[in-house]
Amino acid sequence: ITGQRSEADEKLLAEIVRACGCSKIVIVDARPSLNAAGQTVMGAGYENTLNYEEHEAIRRCHLQFVGIANIHVMRKSRQALHKLITTTTEHGDTSSFWSDVQSSGHLHHLSTIISGAIYVSKLLRKEVPVLVHCSDGWDRTAQLVSLAQLILDPFYRTIRGFEVLVEKEWLSFGHKFLDRVGHGGL
Residues taking part in catalysis: 134
Distances (CA, A) of 185 to 71, 75, 165: 20, 19, 24
Give the C-alpha separation, 58 to 72, whole Å. 36
Between the CA atoms of 68, 73, 75 and 80, what dihedral angle is there, to the nearest 10 degrees?
Answer: -120
Inter-residue contact 62 to 164 (CB < 8 Å): no
Phi, psi dihedrals of residue 166, rounded to the nearest 5°: -65, -40
User: In this structure, which amino acid lies at residue 145?
Assistant: V
CB atoms within 10 A of CB 148: 25
